[in-house]
Amino acid sequence: MKWTELVNSGIIEYIDAAEEDNAFVASNQTEIKNEHTHLEIHPIDIFGLVLSLLPFANHDHSSRLIKGGKTLKQSLGIYSADYLVRLDTDVSIMHYPQKPIVRSFIYDALQVYPSGQNLVVAILPYEGYNMEDAVVLNKSSIDRGMGRSTYFRPYTATELQYAGGLADEITVPDKDVTGYRTEKSYRFLEDDGIAYPEADMNEEKS
Residues whose CB is less than 8 angstroms from the CB of residue 13 and which lie 6 or more positions away in sequence, other chains included: 7, 38
The residues annotated with a catalytic role in the active site are 133
- Distance CA(173)–CA(155), nearest Å, equals 18
Q: Report which of 152, 67, 75 is spatially closest to residue 112, judged by C-alpha positions.
A: 75
